[in-house]
Amino acid sequence: MTDEQIKQAIVGIINDINPDEDTSNINSAERLRDQLDLDSMDFLDIVMELRKRYGVHVPDTDYEHLASLDSCVAYLRDKMAGKELVS
Amino acid sequence: MTHYDAIIIGAGMSGLGAGIRLAMYDKKVVVLERHYVWGGLNSFYQFKGHQFDVGLHAMTNYAPRGAKGLPLTRLLKQLRIRWDELDLHQQGHSAVSWPGEKLKFSNDFELLRSEVARAFPQQADGFDAVTRAVRDYNELDLNAPTLNAREIVESHITDPVLVDMLFCPLMYYGSARENDMDWDQFVVMFKSIFFEGFARPQAGVRHILKLLIDRYRKAGGELRMKAGVARIITDGQHATGVELDNGETLTADTVLSSAGLVETTRLVGATLGSPASELSPVGDASITPTGKLSFTETINVLDKPARELGIEETIIFFNNTERFNYAQPGDLCDTSSGVICMPGNFDLPEQPKDHLVRITNIANFDKWNALNRSAGILPAPDAGVSPASAVDVTSTPGAAETAALRDYRAAKQHWYTRSSEDVLGHIPDFRPHTTLVDMFTPRTIRHYTGHEGGAVYGSPIKKRTGESGIEGLYIIGTDQGFLGIIGAMLSGISMANRWVLQRDNATVEA
């Protein structure tokens, strides 16, 4: 999976969590929390969806790596290698 | 024998909320419901061809589409429900009505603020101070100490009438304590009613329940109706499953119970033989774990919309006495205060088929429970009362009182009459327009919810973290302590997250 696809995977999950949210202008360097209506319950869902869709496990202690799209890419690049983007 | 990741007791709002979360993440989950209809405290029934809601006057916690950081939005995200799907329509305005004083409020908080400033100019600053204290308090901190709301509110507002008027709607819509509330519960209710406000779907509670049931089934959850739990099985330390009324045994890693704190402990106690051991209340020893607050409600079907009778409000919280008394009455009912709901006065796209006025009063479960049942008559909803216009006015009050003491049905008739009279200082006389009445009592509530004492808001002791004292058994719903319909669903959701999903994520092989 390319870096761009990893971002798409995360944004796809966020769209499913909150279909009423506009995700078209996310700044990938900025914290997701500061741009979108995401709380700790939603981060649990991002983690749960990553596991369900991609078989990727994110331990509780690593939640901080999901703060921005850029940090997601850095953290997930190895874990998502070889996986197909689920639309 | 079937083994589940989780067994959920009760197909009410919290049970279904929890169920959806677990089924969504591929947990093998079953929701067990004793009755043939779902919804628990917020259910529905048919009566003489009419569709009535139980419990739900209004959904609190209204939030417009896309509103950020509010309970409703949080709920929608967790259950993957789009805002549109709820079909929410806001109230016009409501009121707190006292003899000689009325405070209007709506989903725009400024209305209440200006009403307080108009009616209680000396208290305007105090009211703002309470508002700030509410706004600044984080009610989601499950480990915060328990404080008494009355003490805090009275430190800012010195006029007892205004204190009572503010407490009245919050208590009626969620307090399990008499004449006071835990501060965090006060904050939750204040935000959900005064900051956020009331709304309802066109089709009422049915619509919400249908959404939940559909979502749950689609996610692969199993729902078993007429499957009452006789006991929760433990090995002394851990809950391992349940035994159903029919003797069938189901095992599970986790049991989430919306049966209530006392009721759940009793289900465990059936095994342990020491039902009281888990219940020694912490803190205030005067608080008994079984809730004392139950209600009667009369549902009046009118021959025309309430608005045409001059009733503008959506909901009126009223009181007729000098001090508002939110406590178990010594008599069957206390009709000196209550809630009047006009479901047709929500801003609905179409006028509902039935023009309803619903009146709720505080009632005493034990007194209702001691009455004889007329032969063959079950508790409401199948036993209606006659519209006031049909009441035999020639019978002396003394005779009626005596009959009411003996007979459940006669008591309903008597208290329906009293209740209808005691609202007349707050709404025009609707009685000549009443074509059909049904009434439910604390006995009905116990029958359909299983709550001891018909305690609508459960025990005054809440288990905010859900921990029951038994590993693998967690309290959800009313006695976990999140209030209202949205609160109940969030209760199930957050407990399912905390005790199953997060735990599961923590133990998975990296």
Assess B509–A contact: CB distance below 8 Å, yes or no. Answer: yes
In a domain, B376, yes or no: yes
Question: Given B400, B420, B449, which residue is the final one in a domain?
Answer: B449
Cα–Cα–Cα angle for B394, B395, B396, rounded to 5 degrees: 110
Q: Say yes or no: B441 and B306 in one domain.
A: yes
How many structural domains are present in chain B?
A: 3
Q: Say yes or no: B127 and B273 in one domain.
A: no
Q: Say yes or no: B438 and B314 in one domain.
A: yes
In a domain, B455, yes or no: no
Average pLDDT on B61-75 reads: 94
Q: Say yes or no: B351 and B438 in one domain.
A: yes
In a domain, B385, yes or no: yes
Q: How far is CA B159 from CA B102, B125, B156, B170, B324, in A?
A: 15, 12, 9, 18, 13
B222: domain CATH number is: 3.50.50.60
Q: Do A57 and B69 touch (CB under 8 A)?
A: no
Q: Say yes or no: B65 and B190 in one domain.
A: no
Q: Say yes or no: B321 and B416 in one domain.
A: yes
Structure tokens that stand for B348 in this block:
């609905």
Q: How far is it, in rounded angstroms, from Cα B256 to Cα B477?
A: 10
pLDDT tens digits for A29-85? 999 999 999 998 999 999 999 999 999 999 988 999 999 999 999 999 999 998 999
Gyration radius from chain B CA atoms: 22
Which residue has better confidence, B287 or B475?
Answer: B475
pLDDT score for B402: 55
Question: Given B175, B197, B219, which residue is the final one in a domain?
Answer: B197
Evaluate if residue B309 carries a pLDDT over 50: yes
Evaluate if residue B124 carries a pLDDT over 80: yes
Least confident among B166-180, B181-195, B400-414, B416-430 = B400-414
Peptide bond into A19 cis (omega under 30): no
Question: Given B423, B449, B475, which residue is the final one in a domain?
Answer: B449
Assess B503–A contact: CB distance below 8 Å, yes or no. Answer: no
Evaluate if residue B330 carries a pLDDT over 60: yes
Closest residue in A to B68 (Cα) is A37
Q: Specify whether the CB–CB gap between B368 and B397 falls below 8 A.
A: no
Q: Say yes or no: B180 and B232 in one domain.
A: no
Q: Say yes or no: B479 and B397 in one domain.
A: no
Size of interface A-B (CB pairs under 8 A): 52
Evaluate if residue B393 carries a pLDDT over 70: no
Domain ranges of chain A: 3-80
Q: Specify whether the CB–CB gap between B175 and B362 falls below 8 A.
A: no
Q: Specify whether the CB–CB gap between B203 and B320 falls below 8 A.
A: no
Q: Say yes or no: B311 and B429 in one domain.
A: yes
Cβ-based contacts of B493 with chain A (< 8 Å): 41
pLDDT score for B146: 80
pLDDT score for B508: 73
Q: Specify whether the CB–CB gap between B163 and B123 falls below 8 A.
A: no
Q: Say yes or no: B266 and B375 in one domain.
A: no
Range of the domain at B172: 92-197
Distance from CA of A34 to the nearest CA of B (A): 12
Q: Say yes or no: B392 and B309 in one domain.
A: yes
In a domain, B417, yes or no: yes
Q: Which residues of A fall below an 8 Å CB-CB distance to B?
A: 16-21, 37, 39, 41-42, 44-45, 47-48, 51-52, 57-60
CATH 1.10.1200.10 given to domain A3-80: yes
pLDDT tens digits for B77-105? 999 999 999 999 999 999 999 999 999 99
Structure tokens that stand for B60 in this block:
């609190």
In this structure, the strands spanning B3-9 and B249-257 are parallel
Q: Say yes or no: B207 and B80 in one domain.
A: yes
In a domain, B21, yes or no: yes
Cβ-based contacts of A41 with chain B (< 8 Å): 74, 77-78, 493-494, 497
